[in-house]
Amino acid sequence: MNQMTRKPGEKSLNHLFQPVEWGRFKVKNRIKYGACCVSNYNTRDGFITPRELARTKVIAETGCGIITNQGAYPDPEGLGKAYFRQVAIFDDKFLPQFEMIARMIKDNGGMAIQQILHAGRYGGIDLGYCIQPSIVPQTLPHFRPPREITKEQIRQTIKEHAEAAARSIKAGFDGTEVTSFMGYLLATFNSKFTNKRTDEYGGSIENRGRFMRELIDAIKQATPDHPLVVRLNGTELMDKWGGNSEDECFELMEQAGRCGVDMISVTVGWQEAPKSSIGRDIPPGHWNYLAARAKKLLPDTPVAFGVRLPDPIMANECLAEGQFDFWEVCRPLLADPELIHKASEGRLNEVKRCIGSLNCLSRLFRDLPYTCTMNPALGHEIEPEYNVKPAAVHKNVMIVGAGPAGMECAITAKRRGHDVVVFERSERIGGSLVGYATHDLAHKDDLKSVVAYYEVMAKKLGIEVRLNTEINPKLMRGILHQFDAAVVATGVRIDMLALPAPEAPGILVSAQDVALGRVPPARKLVVIGGGKVGLTLAESLKSSGYEVTVIEREKENCRRRNAVVEMASYRLDRGVGNSDLHQQSSHPDRQRRRHHCRRQRRGKKDRSRDGDRRVASSG
């Protein structure tokens, strides 16, 4: 590329934007879009819908050099089917939509890869069972009971993968990918946790890798001139269940390399792994060492990596150091599909970062269209009202509240050409998020980046934000005539009156006020409400040395949230401090107040009164 014509970001992130050759293909940069179900809007029988195509168009336009299309299951029975709306590729009848997708990707200058995803242990979603090498029950409840795959089925499954690969090439894709991401069929053969076979497909690591080697051979034979990528675990995080060690994972990678695979994509963890792999508690860059190890082991095989590596600057540095060959990025492009373009234009401060909340993935397996915490348009691309267009009639818009809702509204209104004034009672943009970002133990920078994004966009778009301005009826009467529309975006309020009356003023305070530093916490605190707000604050205060008790109203919630509390303790155990967060039912509404007093009279211990200060996070 001519240095003179390079955009500013392409110069500073020169490794990322370096065109490279991959076999006989020229790739325009070293960025690969990591396979990801598109929006969960396929039909129940595996056809890609116009809604999916509209979303895929956004993916095709991200600017990545290689784009991996969502994983399709390869068998007609649906044993490989991981979630209800997974797309299928076991028959030519599915081809027209795949052809459209391959064309979309190529029209945007990308290389098109089709992923084949057989879910194995997590598959058979429409059936009463699933298959895997041996009968090893899943450690989570919501999967189908496993049956042992027969040798005949192994041969058939490999054949179906090869046919699916050939079909992908027929549709116009440049290459294919097989995934063992998160414990799918390939991973279950490789892992000693799920592979207890006594025939040539089980036992030694050489035998456990046989299925993978035969799969690679079959696909390479079916599509000899086209690259094949295999996604393999760098670590399974399944030690608790007797899974593979990291050394074994790399031995399997070496086998794949020896077999002539064209790229290895390094992944982390299984769905059942008791430890986090891609959540917010994993700091960006945490897993890079796995990619570096793979690259060292296989210097001649291209390595793709990007798990929880959302930062293009860090990715560029890794490429410069030779830790991997392609930055494989998924969720950061869900949160901001413009990420690569902004990076190339030197506008990284305008990127809406993925905060690792996992809203997206968690909805997929509940048969819900997935959504993104940061990108409200995700999955709605086909709906005209989600495409921001100039407004037919110009308006003056007032927005009350500069939290995320108010700022999103302001940005959209401004982009449509309206004049916008935002009124904010505090001294800065961000609303309650500012407070929770400060108290977030998972990774403060994630939430802080959201606040920073709104500050940058307000400046860039020329949105007037009047800080330290509380809107009250008097002020409203005085200014409302200046505006055509008013939007109230003042966020949630905790209903303090719904809680037991405090015996003295200042004892019962709102979580928002504590989070934002408006009220100093007392040494001994009771946090009322074990939801996200309550637990985030409780964890943070606990780690700062306060004595904290969390109480929770609903028994059901208590049960559901046990996992969260455990997670909190787990995080604290990992060095932030010791956890002794308690749980107890509270009685927060007025109707229950009498019952609450009765309990007290009967002498039952009421922990909501334990602390010097009660912090309401629900009401």
**Which three-class secondary structure state does DSSP give residue 347?**
coil
Residue 618, SS3? coil
Would you say 36 or 374 has its CB closer to ligand FMN?
Answer: 36
Distance CA 113, CA 305 (A): 16
The binder of ligand SF4 chosen from 372, 442, 514, 528 (CB under 6 A):
372
CA pseudo-torsion sign 119, 122, 125, 131: positive
User: Does residue 37 bind ligand FMN (CB under 6 A)?
Assistant: yes
Strand ranges for 417-495 from DSSP E: 419-423, 464-466, 485-488
Q: Residue 357 touches which of ligand SF4, ligand FMN, none (CB < 5 to 8 A by kind)?
A: ligand SF4
DSSP state at residue 178:
E
Interaction of residue 339 with ligand SF4, rule CB under 6 A: no
| SS3 label, residue 615 | strand
**Of positions 356, 401, 500, 529, contacts ligand SF4 by CB under 6 A:** 356
| Contacts to ligand FMN from residues 163-202, by CB under 6 A | 179, 181
Pick the stretch among 186-194, 359-367, 491-499, 583-591 that binds ligand FMN (CB under 6 A): 359-367
Residue closer to ligand SF4, measured from CB, 117 or 360: 360
Picked from ligand SF4, ligand FMN, none, the partner binding residue 33 (CB below 5 to 8 A depending on kind) is none
CB 316 within 8 A of CB 16: yes
Q: Does 331 contact ligand FMN by CB under 6 A?
A: yes
- Interface residue with ligand SF4, options 334, 339, 516, 525 (CB under 6 A): 334
Q: Rule CB under 6 A: is residue 267 a binding residue for ligand FMN?
A: yes
- Judged by CB under 6 A, which stretch of 252-260, 360-368, 413-421, 445-453 contacts ligand FMN? 360-368
Q: How many residues sit close enough to ligand SF4 to count as binding (CB under 6 A)? A: 13
Q: Residues 218, 335, 343, 541: which binds ligand SF4 (CB under 6 A)?
A: 335
Do residues 305 and 31 lie in contact, with contact meaning Cβ atoms separated by under 8 Å?
A: no
115 binds ligand FMN, rule: CB under 6 A: yes
Smallest separation (angstroms) from ligand FMN to the CB of 521: 34
Report, in this order, helix, strand and coil percent for the chain, each rounded to 5.
40, 15, 45
Tally Cβ neighbours within 10 Å of residue 450.
20
Residue type, 44: R
Among 307, 402, 451, 515, binds ligand FMN (CB under 6 A): 307
Measured at the alpha carbon of residue 254, what is the angle toward residues 168 and 277, in degrees to the nearest 5?
75
Residue 38 touches ligand FMN, criterion: CB under 6 A: no
Compare residues 309 and 525 and give the one whose CB is closer to ligand FMN: 309
Asked if 534 interacts with ligand FMN (CB under 6 A), we say no
Structure tokens at 308: 């929880």
Should residue 360 be labelled a site residue for ligand SF4 when binding is judged by CB under 6 A?
A: yes
97 contact choice in ligand FMN, ligand SF4, none (CB below 5 to 8 Å, kind-dependent) = none
Nearer residue to ligand SF4 within complex by CB, 136 or 309: 309
Hey, is 367 helix, strand or coil? Answer: coil
Applying CB under 6 A, which of residues 357, 449, 543, 618 lies at the interface with ligand SF4? 357
User: Which range in 12-20, 119-127, 159-167, 327-335 contacts ligand FMN by CB under 6 A?
Assistant: 327-335
The least CB distance from residue 68 to ligand FMN, in Å, is 7
Site size toward ligand FMN, by CB under 6 A? 24
CA 305 to CA 294: how far, in whole Å? Answer: 10
437 belongs to the binding site for ligand SF4 (CB under 6 A): no
Q: For residue 131, list its beta bridge partners.
A: 147
Is the Cβ of residue 309 or residue 397 nearer to ligand SF4 in the bound state? 309
| Candidates 34-42, 486-494, 555-563, 586-594; binding stretch for ligand FMN (CB under 6 A) | 34-42
- Pairing outcome for strands 396-400 and 464-466: unpaired
- Please identify, using beta-carbon distances, which residue of 278 and 451 lies nearer to ligand FMN: 278
- Spatial distance between the Cα atoms of 208 and 231, rounded to a whole number of angstroms: 16
Report the residue from 361, 399, 429, 615 that binds ligand FMN according to the rule CB under 6 A.
Answer: 361
Binders in 374-413 for ligand SF4, by CB under 6 A: 374
* Token pair in block for residue 18: 């370096």
Which DSSP helix (H) or strand (E) runs through 304? Answer: strand 303-305
Contacts of 555 (CB under 8 A, 6+ apart): 585
Is the CB of 267 or the CB of 536 nearer to ligand FMN?
267
Are 327 and 319 contacting, i.e. CB atoms less than 8 angstroms apart? yes
Answer for the pair 340, 62: CB distance below 8 angstroms, yes or no.
Answer: yes
| Shortest CB 113 distance to ligand FMN, Å | 11
- Say if CB 71 and CB 86 are below 8 A apart: yes
Q: Which of 81, 144, 331, 542 binds ligand SF4 (CB under 6 A)?
A: 331
CA-CA distances (angstroms) from residue 119 to 160, 241, 399?
A: 14, 19, 47
Of these partners, ligand FMN, ligand SF4, none, which one is at the site of residue 34 (CB under 5 to 8 Å by kind)? Answer: ligand FMN
State the Cα–Cα distance between residues 329 and 327, nearest whole angstrom. Answer: 6
Consecutive H or E run containing 152: helix 151-170
Q: Which amino acid is at 156?
A: Q
- Contact region with ligand FMN (CB under 6 A), list: 3-11, 323-331, 373-381, 398-406: 323-331
Q: Which of 127, 358, 486, 564 binds ligand SF4 (CB under 6 A)?
A: 358
Candidates 170-178, 367-375, 416-424, 475-483; binding stretch for ligand SF4 (CB under 6 A): 367-375
Residue 139 DSSP class: S
Neighbour-count burial of 347, counting CB atoms closer than 10 A to its CB (0-12 exposed, 13-18 middle, 19+ buried): middle
How many helices and strands in the chain, by DSSP H and E? 21, 20
The Cα–Cα gap between 352 and 354 comes to 7
Applying CB under 6 A, the residues found at the interface with ligand FMN are 34-37, 70-71, 115, 117, 179, 181, 231, 267, 278, 306-308, 329-332, 360-361, 364, 370
Applying CB under 6 A, the residues found at the interface with ligand SF4 are 331, 334-335, 354-360, 372-374
